[in-house]
């Protein structure tokens, strides 16, 4: 869209469909079937329900190899250990849950791929907290095998960066390339239903202009769900976290860009308001009178003597953007984030398309 190139920040619109390296074909689509939202069938909670369903009859007979602890209290690391441990029954139980979850993820993925915005998708990257475990990796791999066995020509792979850092690193790809020429880092924010994470992201641009070697130098995590703050209190805490990171980065000698990228749940409007999908955040973030980017810019008006530009996009989009350097063999690709819900976004590479057109033009000229 032509107006996506305009913005009050002078850099790009919030929630834009046209970014420096990709077009965002779709994000945060909500598909339904007779049982409700499809994403609920392939979330972290869905895996817990599946595992609990397998444990229930075993508990009645006193044969549950995972013991008496409630399923919701069993962490990913414990389940990973069960897969590799000597208790074959426990390993078999967890494997059964992985298989059932993979079948659900296959069903959801097929439905998403049938949507117009996801047509001709060649690769799907899977992020979110569930991915950062052996059970998550096995579920993704099993889903990939089932999809291929069904004849679908799509690859499904785990996201490369740690899910806790992918959303921060993805914010680099919201910024135009000129930002990186005079600066070696940016501030990034990843907002979730339970946590807010802020970080200083090193671009690595001079060595790898495709940002494939970007990394999080320092980050700060606040589990806001434990404190139950007001909306205003959450913004105040967020601004303080960012200011502390600015001080730390400047003391270390970083050249911070006057740019803050924000990854946030929900449908992000061009003006920085949130249309829907932010119900898990503290207070009413979907109010037309609430504008997080504006409040952040007011709280941090300058960085390094330059006016601060703030750009916000959907959290699933931001996680997916971290994969851009590694998706150059594909034209159209997407991301699914498995967490409290199932986030999603679909992308089309633009620079690769331009290169192919130039190659074809050059070949035609030689002919």
Task: Kindly list the domain boundaries of the chain, sorted by start residue.
Answer: 32-158, 163-325
Bridge partners for 263 per DSSP:
190, 313
Please determine whether the domains at 32-158 and 163-325 fall in the same fold group of CATH: yes
Q: Residue 313 pLDDT > 90, yes or no?
A: yes
DSSP-derived letter for residue 18 is: B
Residue 341 has pLDDT above 90, yes or no: no
The CATH class of 163-325 is alpha beta
Q: Is the pLDDT of residue 153 over 80?
A: yes
User: What pLDDT was estimated at residue 6?
Assistant: 35
How far apart CA 64 and CA 68 sit, in angstroms, is 8
What pLDDT is stored for residue 189 in this prediction? 98
What six digits make up the tokens of 267? 């449908």
Residue 177's pLDDT is 84
Please give the CATH architecture assigned to the domain spanning 32-158.
2-Layer Sandwich (3.30)
* pLDDT at residue 267, as a whole number: 92
Is the per-residue pLDDT at 291 higher than 70?
yes
CA 123 from chain center: how many Å?
16
Dihedral (CA of 146, 150, 155, 161) sign: negative
Which range is least confidently modeled, 34-43, 172-181, 266-275, 312-321?
A: 34-43
Which residues have C-beta within 8 Å of that of residue 155, sequence separation ≥ 6? 122, 123, 124, 144
Are 171 and 197 a contacting pair, CB within 8 Å?
Answer: no
Whether residue 92 has pLDDT greater than 80? yes
Retrieve residue 237's tokens.
Answer: 């805490």
pLDDT at 361 over 50: no
156, 124 contact by CB (below 8 A): yes
- CB-based contacts of 136: which residues, under 8 Å, 6+ apart? 76, 126, 130, 158, 338
pLDDT at residue 350, rounded to an integer: 86
Of the ranges 37-41, 278-282, 300-304, the best mean pLDDT one: 300-304
- Mean pLDDT check: name the lowest of 19-28, 253-262, 340-349, 353-362: 353-362
Confidence of residue 51 (pLDDT cuts 50, 70, 90): very high
pLDDT band at 323 (very low <50, low <70, confident <90, very high): very high
Please state whether the predicted TM-score (pTM) of the whole model is above 0.85. yes
- Whether the pLDDT of residue 351 is over 70: the answer is no
Q: Is the pLDDT of residue 299 over 70?
A: yes
């Amino acid at each position: 869209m032509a107006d996506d190139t305009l913005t009050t920040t002078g850099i790009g619109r919030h929630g834009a469909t046209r970014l420096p390296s990709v077009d965002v074909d779709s994000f945060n689509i909500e598909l339904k079937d007779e049982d409700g939202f499809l994403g609920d069938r392939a979330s972290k909670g869905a895996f817990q329900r599946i595992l609990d369903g397998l444990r229930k009859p075993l508990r009645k007979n006193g044969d549950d190899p995972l013991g008496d602890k409630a399923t919701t209290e069993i962490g990913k690391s414990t389940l990973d250990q069960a897969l590799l441990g000597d208790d074959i029954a426990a390993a078999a139980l967890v494997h059964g849950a992985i298989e059932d979850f993979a079948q659900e993820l296959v069903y959801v993925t097929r439905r998403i791929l049938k949507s117009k915005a996801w047509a001709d998708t060649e690769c799907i990257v899977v992020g979110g907290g569930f991915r950062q475990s052996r059970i998550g990796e096995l579920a993704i791999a099993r889903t990939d095998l089932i999809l291929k066995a069904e004849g679908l020509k799509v690859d499904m792979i785990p996201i490369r960066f740690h899910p806790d850092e992918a959303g921060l690193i993805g914010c680099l790809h919201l910024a135009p390339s000129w930002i990186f020429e005079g600066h070696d880092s940016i501030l990034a924010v990843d907002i979730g239903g339970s946590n807010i994470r802020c970080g200083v992201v090193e671009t690595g641009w001079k060595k790898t202009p495709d940002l494939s070697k970007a990394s999080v130098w320092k980050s700060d995590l606040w589990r806001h769900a434990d404190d139950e703050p007001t909306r205003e209190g959450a913004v105040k805490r967020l601004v303080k976290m960012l200011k502390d990171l600015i001080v730390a980065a400047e003391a270390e000698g970083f050249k911070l860009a006057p740019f803050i990228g924000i990854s946030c749940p929900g449908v992000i409007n061009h003006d920085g308001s949130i249309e829907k999908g932010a119900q898990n955040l503290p207070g009413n973030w979907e109010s037309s009178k609430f504008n997080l980017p504006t409040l952040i810019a007011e709280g941090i008006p300058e960085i390094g003597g330059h006016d601060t530009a703030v750009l916000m996009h959907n959290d699933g989009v931001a996680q997916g953007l971290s994969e851009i350097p590694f998706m150059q063999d594909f034209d159209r690709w997407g991301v699914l984030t498995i967490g409290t819900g199932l986030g999603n976004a679909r992308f089309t590479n633009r620079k690769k398309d331009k290169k192919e057109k130039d190659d074809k033009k050059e070949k035609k000229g030689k002919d």
